[in-house]
Amino acid sequence: MQLDHLKQQISLILDGSTTKENKLQAICDYLESEIPYYDWVGFYFKNGDKEELKLGQFTGEPTDHIIIPFGKGICGQVALSNENFVVQDVSEQDNYISCGWKVKSEIVIPIFVNEENIGQIDIDSHTANIFTKKDEELLEFVCTKVAELI
């Protein structure tokens, strides 16, 4: 993984002159196309004043998980913990919401605006034990840049 190149491309996407929604979709599309083991890439955002997340832009197979209550699944846990969550083998998680039998690992990184967790980026992989510190670094960068956009 060439972090510098990926970060540069993400910055170019976010610096473009299009809508916020189009930029977020472009990030999903770019990450899914550039990193072979990113099989589903999506953004979830806090749904107003409700204690739930709502699916935003994503790339990959459609999901039934449009709304996720805080505390439920990996995304819901990140909404409460405000911390990165890397799951190398989803079968070992008790509080995991299955998005499909192909998903073997997941990484979720929160997005903070003014120190408030307003959403997250969620990546699913069909390969177990695949995520590294480089993935966390890249996705933390993405979340920091997205926070500037919002």
Among the listed ranges 5-19, 89-103, 111-125, which one has the minimum average pLDDT value?
A: 89-103
Q: Mean of the pLDDT values across residues 9-13?
A: 95
Residue 44 near residue 54, CB atoms below 8 Å: yes
SS3 108: strand
For residues 142 and 137, give the distance between their C-alpha atoms in angstroms, rounded to a whole number.
9
Record the pTM: 0.93
pLDDT number for residue 97:
67
Supply the mean pLDDT for the chain: 92
pLDDT number for residue 100:
63
pLDDT number for residue 64:
87
Q: Does the pLDDT value for residue 110 go beyond 80? A: yes
For residues 47 and 137, give the distance between their C-alpha atoms in angstroms, rounded to a whole number.
26
Kindly list the domain boundaries of the chain, sorted by start residue. 3-149
For residues 102 and 125, give the distance between their C-alpha atoms in angstroms, rounded to a whole number.
8
Top pLDDT among 138 and 1 is at: 138
Beta bridge partners of residue 55, listed in sequence order: 44
Backbone angles phi, psi at 60, to 5 degrees: 130, -170
Strands 116-125 and 105-113 come out as: antiparallel
The string of pLDDT tens digits covering residues 29-86 is 999 999 999 999 999 999 999 999 999 999 999 988 899 999 998 999 999 999 999 9
Sign of CA dihedral 61, 64, 67, 72: negative
Q: Does the pLDDT value for residue 91 go beyond 80? A: no
Output the 3-class SS for 52-105: EEEEEEEECCCCCCCEEECCCHHHHHHHHHCCCEEECCHHHCCCCCCCCCCCCE
For residues 126 and 102, give the distance between their C-alpha atoms in angstroms, rounded to a whole number.
5
Percent of the chain scoring above 70 in pLDDT: 93
Domain 3-149 sits in which CATH superfamily? GAF domain (3.30.450.40)
Q: Mean of the pLDDT values across residues 94-114?
A: 82
